[in-house]
Amino acid sequence: MISVAEAIQIVRQQTRPLPQERVRLEHVLNRILAEDVIADSDLPPFDRAQMDGYAVRAEETNDAPVRLRIAGESAAGRGWHHELKQGEAVRIMTGAPVPAGADSVQQVELTHELKDGTVVELLESVEHGKSIVRRGAEIQAGATVLQSGTSINAAMMAVLAAFGYAEVAVAQRPRVGVLATGTELVSVNEKPGQDQIRDSNNYSIAAYAQLTGALVERLPLARDETSVLTNQIAQAIERCDVIVTSGGVSMGVYDVTKAALHELGAEIFFERVALRPGKPTVFARLPNGTLVFGLPGNPVSVAVTFNLFARTALLAMQGANEPALKYESALLARRVKGNVDRESYLPAQLTTNDDGELIAFPLKWGGSSDFVAFALTTALVIVPAGTKALEANAIVRVLRLP
Ligand code: AMP
Ligand code: MG
Q: What is the mean pLDDT of each run of 10 residues along the chain (402 residues)?
A: 98 98 97 98 96 98 96 97 97 98 97 94 97 97 98 98 98 98 97 97 98 97 97 97 97 94 98 97 98 97 98 98 96 96 97 95 86 92 97 98 96
Task: Specify the residue with its C-alpha closest to ligand 1, atom 23.
Answer: 297
Strands, E, within 181-307: which ranges?
Answer: 185-186, 197-198, 215-218, 242-246, 267-270, 275-276, 282-285, 291-295
Distance 233 CA to ligand 1 centre (A): 18
Q: What is the pLDDT of residue 366?
A: 77
Which of the ligands is closest to the CA of residue 305? 1
Ligand 1 atom at shortest distance from the alpha carbon of 255: 3
d(CA 13, CA 241): 16
Ligand 1 atom at shortest distance from the alpha carbon of 249: 2
Task: Specify the residue with its C-alpha closest to ligand 1, atom 17.
Answer: 297
Distance 265 CA to ligand 1 centre (A): 25
Task: Specify the residue with its C-alpha closest to ligand 1, atom 3.
Answer: 247
d(CA 196, CA 181): 13
Distance 222 CA to ligand 2 centre (A): 10
Q: What is the pLDDT of residue 28?
A: 97
Q: What is the pLDDT of residue 365?
A: 80
> Ligand 1: residues within 6 Å at CB?
180, 182, 184-185, 197, 199-202, 246-248, 250, 252, 296-299, 369
Q: What is the pLDDT of residue 370?
A: 85
| Omega cis (within 30) before 65 | yes
Strand partners for 23: 168
8 A C-beta contact, residue 339 and residue 1: no
Q: What is the pLDDT of residue 26?
A: 98
Distance 185 CA to ligand 1 centre (A): 8
Distance 284 CA to ligand 2 centre (A): 19
Distance 363 CA to ligand 1 centre (A): 22
SS3 56: strand
Distance 257 CA to ligand 2 centre (A): 9
Q: What is the pLDDT of residue 371?
A: 87
From 185, 271, 371, give the residue whose CB has the most ligand 1 atoms within 8 Å, as the site to mutate.
185
* Amino acid type, 1: M
SS3 276: strand
Task: Specify the residue with its C-alpha closest to ligand 1, atom 11.
Answer: 297
Environment class of residue 77 by beta-carbon count within 10 Å: exposed (0-12), middle (13-18) or buried (19+)?
A: exposed
Q: What is the pLDDT of residue 382?
A: 98
From 254, 298, 300, 370, give the residue whose CB has the most ligand 1 atoms within 8 Å, as the site to mutate.
298
d(CA 164, CA 39): 9
CA distances from 198 to 15, 374, 400 (A): 32, 17, 28
pTM exceeding 0.95: no
* Amino acid type, 361: F
Q: What is the pLDDT of residue 148?
A: 98
Q: What is the pLDDT of residue 279?
A: 97
- Summary count for the chain: helices (H), strands (E): 8, 28
Which of the ligands is closest to the CA of residue 204? 1
